[in-house]
Amino acid sequence: MKNIHYISRDILDIQTINTIITNHYTIELSEEARVNINSARKYLDDKIANSDTPFYGINTGFGSLYNVKINRQELAQLQENLVISHACGVGEKVDDTIVKIMLLLKIQSLSYGNSGVDLATVERLVDFFNHDILPVVYSQGSLGASGDLAPLAHLSLPLLGRGEVIYKGKRVEAKKVLKERNWEALTLKSKEGLALLNGTQFMSAHAVFALIETYKLFYLADAIGAVSVDAFDCNLSPFDPLVHEIRPHRGQISTAQRIMEFLQGSEIAKQVKEHVQDPYSFRCIPQVHGASKDALDFVCKTVKTEINSVTDNPNIFIDEDKIISAGNFHGQPLALALDYLAIAVAEIGNISERRTFQLVSGLRKLPMFLVDNPGLNSGFMIPQYTAASIVSQNKQLCSPASVDSIVSSNGQEDHVSMGANAATKLIKVVENLKSILAIELFNASQAIKYREPLKSSEFIESFVNAFRAEVPFVEKDKLMADEIHKAIDFLNRFSIDEELLYE
């Protein structure tokens, strides 16, 4: 029996999207959504038939051509021209999962009945989603202001039998897929092209994808940090709840609690320490990880609002008998949030690399570079270099996109968010964090071996043993890149209960 998600006014959240995508749900329009879509379309058709009033993008040109009136016989051609002319994307092909999320979010936004699209158009988008017909979309071309125009044009081209799609694992012309499925290419009605192209679904889909990954990586950062705490023979007193009750940031409190739970019962933690204090990268895990988690929560709330919104233009309000041209397509809320998340993610990588640095420094009875016979063996010297390099790249990627703006459309679109650039570079920062954490776990699992015969907690022992089954203890120099890639694969496959991720 297939899992089905019904598109309705019910709030769509990150967990739900993750479930839909991961478990290969099909989607269907609820009866409520169908009524909303049909009502808005009928209202728009009646309005155009009975009025000569110019409505932006419906019977006028676009952008700075907003004053050019289009006659009724050319309204369909106007919409097709819009989609074709705006498909100007370049750069890398967007990840298939992100494109699938784009389809879902575009369907959700069009379902509220404020866009004026034809039901057949939304149903075709649903068909694309359900049959994994994923338009080829490019990563560059959006200013994140009049919606994600270029990427959404590429998302829409296959509806017209144009452009390319990924189908059954192959990149093929959209018209061939339509022919195979006996589907006619759509002829867009008035306003439909604009409804498809205006919107923030490129930015939003990247944001959703990044959030799903980040929740998992932040949990892993705590778990790997806990391994490092025992591997470096640290005090647990900085994680005492009394400390965090007097500075009660939510993320800080939950991080300290989680570290204590991870290390509960550790023999290493219980032994008397020769040192009274630990470096900040260990001692301040609650404060640093916690601050990034609080940022993550803020971004999640912003994105949740965005993906449950109507972000095309103009907007149709049937009960009020109004068609309003405004600016809900402007990506500023997302641009600021995505820049913030990139910084929060980068900081988790920053402190992780510092723990790696401490572990290889020959301190606290650990051998230099965590290997026997250092000198003959370089051991873990260069994995730390690699982590440092990636951390430095993340710092460069964290230069905010949202403070930039370039005038476009002959001055009509004179302030843009650059949220699409914030979105695409965020994905790279998140990917980089995974590599940094994999390198820390590689180092920490090696270092904690030198604490034997003392054992860590049951959780840490189980976690490290699972890791060592794929990335064994390094006795002498070997090809470390292979081990690092295995460590990254381990994190990719590591399964975590969703209740732990979103708590």
Positions marked catalytic: 56
Q: Cα(226)–Cα(463) distance, rounded to whole angstroms?
A: 11
Q: Cα(107)–Cα(261) distance, rounded to whole angstroms?
A: 42
230 and 194 in contact (C-beta within 8 Å)? no
**Which of 250, 248, 265, 230 shows the shortest CA–CA distance to 449?**
230
For the chain, give the number of residues. Answer: 503
For residue 182, count CB atoms less than 10 angstroms from its CB and return exposed for 0-12, middle for 13-18, buried for 19 or more. Answer: exposed
Written as six digits, the tokens of 148 are 């994600």
User: Judging by DSSP bridges, how do beta strands 138-140 and 90-93 pair with one another?
Assistant: antiparallel
**Which of 489, 486, 477 shows the shortest CA–CA distance to 381?**
477
Query: The dihedral of CA 339, 484, 386, 278: what is its sign?
Result: positive
Q: What are phi and psi of 417, to 5 degrees?
A: -85, -25
Amino acid at 295: A
**Which of 218, 208, 148, 209 shows the shortest CA–CA distance to 436?**
218
SS3 assignment, position 91? strand
Written as six digits, the tokens of 56 are 């932006």
Which residues are CB-neighbours of 10 under 8 A, at least 6 positions away?
Answer: none
444 and 224 in contact (C-beta within 8 Å)? yes
What letters, b where the CB count within 10 A reaches 16 and e where it falls short, cover 252-273? bbbbbebbbebbeebebbeeee
**Which of 332, 336, 337, 343 shows the shortest CA–CA distance to 429?**
343
Beta-bridge mates of residue 164: 173
Cα–Cα distances (Å) from 32 to 6, 39, 313, 317, in that order, read 10, 11, 22, 16
| Terminal C-alpha separation, the chain | 30
Q: Cα(38)–Cα(68) distance, rounded to whole angstroms?
A: 28
